[in-house]
């Protein structure tokens, strides 16, 4: 079976969004959920308001696409391109900080998409002494 390749309006291949997995989840007493997700490139520390409908706890071991303000992707069978702005149209937008959406890479229900704000990012590169 041939792998799916999304195309832009001119027919050029779109890069696959970055893929991450959940590493850690913590809920605090102020109603904020903090997640650490990452891959070989590095780790994102993301947060969301637990009262928001798209403040989801990610499934361990599942791959998620990272949507930033520069991500553009077309899921198999979709008629529109998925972008961060498109995802925010039917979820939440955080006014402070950079917004990040995490979408199950293998497909899923709309309620499995999470919207977060970026706390920090750190590289996965190890330094030697």
Check residue 124 and give its pLDDT.
77
Segments in the chain below pLDDT 50: none
| Residue 5: predicted pLDDT | 86
Domain annotation covers residue 63? yes
- In this prediction, residue 77 carries a pLDDT of 87
Domain that holds residue 53: 19-123
The reply to whether 8 falls in a domain is no
pLDDT of residue 127: 52
Return the pLDDT at 1.
57
109 within domain boundaries? yes
Please check whether residue 10 lies inside any domain of the structure.
Answer: no
**Total number of domains in the chain:** 1
| φ and ψ at residue 42, rounded to 5 degrees | 160, -170
* 23 within some domain: yes
Tell me if 9 is assigned to some domain. Answer: no
Q: What is the mean pLDDT of the chain?
A: 92
pLDDT at residue 90, rounded to an integer: 84
The predicted structure's pLDDT at residue 107: 84
pLDDT at 4: 82
């Amino acid at each position: 079976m041939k792998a799916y390749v999304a195309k832009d309006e001119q027919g050029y291949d779109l890069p696959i969004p970055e893929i991450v997995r959940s590493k850690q989840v913590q809920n605090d007493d102020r109603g904020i959920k903090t997640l650490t997700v990452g891959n070989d490139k590095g780790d994102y520390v993301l947060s969301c308001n637990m009262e928001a409908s798209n403040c989801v706890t990610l499934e361990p071991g599942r791959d998620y696409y990272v949507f930033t303000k520069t991500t553009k992707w077309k899921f198999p069978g979709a008629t529109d391109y998925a972008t961060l702005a498109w995802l925010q149209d039917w979820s939440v937008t955080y006014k402070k900080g950079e917004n990040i959406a995490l979408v199950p890479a293998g497909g899923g229900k709309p309620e499995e998409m999470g919207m977060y704000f970026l706390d920090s990012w750190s590289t996965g590169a190890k330094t030697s002494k």
